[in-house]
Amino acid sequence: MMEQLDAALVWFRRDLRHTDHAALYHALRGARKVWCAFVLDSDILEPLPRQDRRVAFILASLQELDAGLAGLREGSGLIVRHGRAVDEIPRLARELHVQAVYANHDDEPAALARDASVRGRLSDLGVALFTSKDCVVFERNEVLTGNDTPYGVFTPYKNAWLKKIDPFYLKAYPVARHATHLAPLPDTLTTPWPHRVPALGDIGFEPVDDLKVAAGMSGAEALLEDFLHRIDRYDETRDFPSVKGPSYLSTHLRFGTISIRHLASLAWERSQAGSRGALIWLSELIWRDFYHQILWHHPHVVGHAYKREYDRIKWAHGAKAEAQFQAWCEGRTGYPLVDAAMRQLNQTGYMHNRLRMVTASFLVKDLGIDWRRGEAYFAEKLLDFDLAANNGGWQWAASTGCDAQPYFRIFNPVSQSEKFDPEGRFIRRYVPELASLPDRAIHAPWLARPTDLAATDDWVLGRDYPKPIVQHDEARQITLERYAVVKGAKA
């Protein structure tokens, strides 16, 4: 057993909780004194818009994390720095005279490059950097094919995942048992702001009117408690955006305010007991692991198609394509379900998963616009933005990714609307200018009969709501021709 260190630092990143935390557990077991820190990394923050829900969520979660650490041992808490992480972590390690820094894995390419730089600078100080798996159940090379190669198709991966899983992999790290090793915050600790955790204005951001999601571990636990009353019907309700079907925990998974092991354990146990809803939800958690291992093994997916031949596709460009892209971003396409979904995203930072597929398919296969533009827009707007999942979802919709939707399968936005929002309740919430239309007309207003419009109080298509910016059937044929370059022949 390695000799116990005198002092260590835990570097929190996408794991903002003080329970069931791999790096914190290993540090507490490995050192007599442990401090905890989070860096508001200017390399990440500077490119963001000055009003960003994610930054607000992080700061609120940091306040709770600080209190949680103090609750584990009086006098301890969170050290928060604002600057470049590659500078701040080595500087803090030197100030605290630690022998090691502990952190959890982050397998995004930019994060790996950052960690390599930090590791080198810590090494120059004689300080080790230890990292652990924490944000997924299985990572990297833990689930491979019989030939020791990564899976590129989800169903075999899922089957192997389920075959491998057992209580050992879902066991929580007992942090509280070793909390006596948490060190009091140093007397010399100072911050340029009044409190240990800054406010948005302290770091150059503007207030957010309504975060829509309760932050921190308490916010995650409240959502989980609510979802567990509904999980057994998840398979029946998850596709309908006007129904309370999803768990709404994606933001908390992204920032680690709840443990993936805890969620997967609950889902696995209930699925073993026969819950169809729990099994389908567990599959969604497995998709998350799947996309993370794809990003690890195939980092070229950041900026390029997973199937490299799809980079040959010529996407629409020019003034018309630009105008259509802006209409898509703003929810002005003339397709009510698409517009409602985009307005939900813009207003709340959230979009229902079914609608992520519908809107992505519409951008790529109805408008012919490069999937990377949609991926970037979601990356800017989604509160739960996760590079692996966002990239995987967009490449699935664009048919450029692993185990993707076949290029010739193209969502019809009207039939999707009729199937998953049959009464138009979701549409009416986010596209109120259509609220007076009857159910049968709300999915395709341009096809409405005069009798459907009789009670709409002088409602005019093209004035009160836009006409469709593209005809789906015509766009579908153009898409088949566009993708033929990959197949080498006309579709």
Residues tagged active-site: 284, 287, 315, 353, 371, 394
Angle between helices 371-381 and 336-348 (to 10 degrees): 40
Q: How far apart are CA 177 and CA 394, in angstroms?
A: 42
Burial of 36 (0-12, 13-18, 19+ CB in 10 A): buried
| Residue written as token pair 């998850």 | 238
Assess contact for 75 and 36: CB atoms under 8 A: no
Cα–Cα distance for residue pair 127/11, rounded to 1 Å: 13
Burial class (CB in 10 A: 0-12, 13-18, 19+), 308: exposed
Nearest to 30 by CA among 120, 109, 123, 129: 129
Alpha carbon distance 171, 178 (integer Å)? 16
Q: For Cα atoms 238, 263, 378, give the angle at the middle one, nearest 5 degrees.
A: 55
Q: Which amino acid is at 80?
A: V
Is the Cα dihedral 110, 111, 112, 113 positive or negative?
Answer: positive
HSE of 399, CA atoms in CB hemisphere, 13 A: 23
> DSSP secondary-structure letter at 135?
S
Q: Whole-angstrom Cα distance, residue 433 to residue 445? A: 11
Residue type, 309: E
Sheet arrangement for strand 78-83: 78-83, 31-41, 5-12, 100-104, 128-132
**Which candidate, 265, 491, 238, places its Cα nearest to that of 354?**
238
With CA atoms as reference, report the closest residue to 71 among 207, 206, 216: 216
The Cα 239–Cα 303 span in angstroms is: 29
Residue 444 has which token pair?
A: 């395709």
